[in-house]
Amino acid sequence: MNFFLETLRVLLLSLWYNIEAFIYLFVPKRRKNIAGEVVLITGAGSGIGRLMTQEFAALGTVLVLWDINLEGMKETAQLAKECGAIKVRYYLCDCSDKNEVYRVADQVKREVGDVNILVNNAGIVTGKKFIDAPDSLIEKTMEVNTMAHFWTYKAFLPAMMANNHGHLVSIASSAGLIGVNGLADYCASKFGAVGFAESVGLEMLAIGKEGVKTTIVCPYFINTGMFDGCQTKWPTLMPILKPHDVAKKVIHAVLTDQVFLLMPKSMYLISALKNVLQWKQNSLLASYLGLTIEVDGLTNVSLHRMLQ
């Protein structure tokens, strides 16, 4: 294909994609049916993981729960059954341990079957400034928030590719799009998670696996306990998000094959501005919006709990 024809193709498709996006502002996308599909959620013992489990359960799915909080998983499993899940299985799994991820993944495939929807939700935050954070906590943050995604994809993506059917969901963070003062290791881990998920999604398209979908979720701070002590400077523009609202929006994004979900909506504009403004302007905007965090005021979440 010569330069003229390829350029024309890109321009025409770009025009159509914009028209399509405009239409969807007024006509809701059709939600796909996932009844009977196997959904695996990491960090399912509490927080957003538990709420997403309940939402998926109401859609008649088979649920597989991973966490290192056994009692929390038992409670989540009971709630999922009450919400209509076909089957619920839960497994102790430290997602920061590659060998354990592979071992438990093999157990899931033997006892439940292939996973159709993988939700990487487990996450931790050290609650310390970079220079004060012990090396071990920084390493743990990267292992749980980033590297665990590599291992779960390695374990479950091959079956999705073989069937050209599946959905990869990354619960990342707005801190994976914009650096936040006081959250260096957390931002690095979430930037990594976003880049990884986006790259694999593009890889699936490039090899013709259009049936393997990707959804990358980048919320602002969520009121789950993970960021207790955080406050927002402008609550109307940048509200602390309600967990139930986030869970419902994530499920809707999955059902409509939405690739990026940023919350609140103002994050779409802020993220775009970051890429066009000068460094000093970005710093000024961050200060104005309150995109800083007093880490000393955080209620440090135990590293033995996987929350988002």
- Residue segments in the chain with a per-residue pLDDT below the cut of 70: 1, 225-232, 291-308
Task: Provide the whole-model pTM.
Answer: 0.89
Supply the range of the domain harboring residue 149: 32-297
pLDDT given at position 300? 42
In a domain, 19, yes or no: no
In a domain, 20, yes or no: no
Angle between helix axes 47-57 and 243-255 (nearest 10 degrees) is 50
In a domain, 303, yes or no: no
pLDDT given at position 106? 98
| Element containing residue 223 per DSSP (H, E) | none
Question: Which string of DSSP letters, residue by residue, matches 22-52?
Answer: HHTTTSPPPPPP-TT-EEEEETTTSHHHHHH
DSSP 63: E
In a domain, 8, yes or no: no
pLDDT given at position 291? 65
Question: Which string of DSSP letters, residue by residue, matches 170-199?
Answer: EE--GGGTS--BT-HHHHHHHHHHHHHHHH
In a domain, 4, yes or no: no
Q: What angle do CA 169, 175, 180 make, to 5 degrees?
A: 175
In a domain, 13, yes or no: no
Nearest to 234 by CA among 199, 270, 208, 272: 270
| CATH number of the domain where residue 241 is located | 3.40.50.720
- Amino acid, single-letter form, for residue 176: G
pLDDT tens-digit profile of 47-102? 999 999 999 999 999 999 999 999 999 999 999 999 999 999 999 999 999 999 99
pLDDT given at position 284? 82
Q: What are phi and psi of 258, to 5 degrees?
A: -80, 125
CA–chain centroid gap for 167, Å, is 12
In a domain, 6, yes or no: no
Q: How many domains does the chain have?
A: 1
As annotated, the active-site residues are: 186
pLDDT given at position 231? 63
> Which residue in this structure is represented by tokens 């109401």?
58
CA–CA distance, 208 with 53 (Å, rounded to integer): 30
CA–CA distance, 83 with 116 (Å, rounded to integer): 20
In a domain, 16, yes or no: no
CA–CA distance, 287 with 252 (Å, rounded to integer): 33
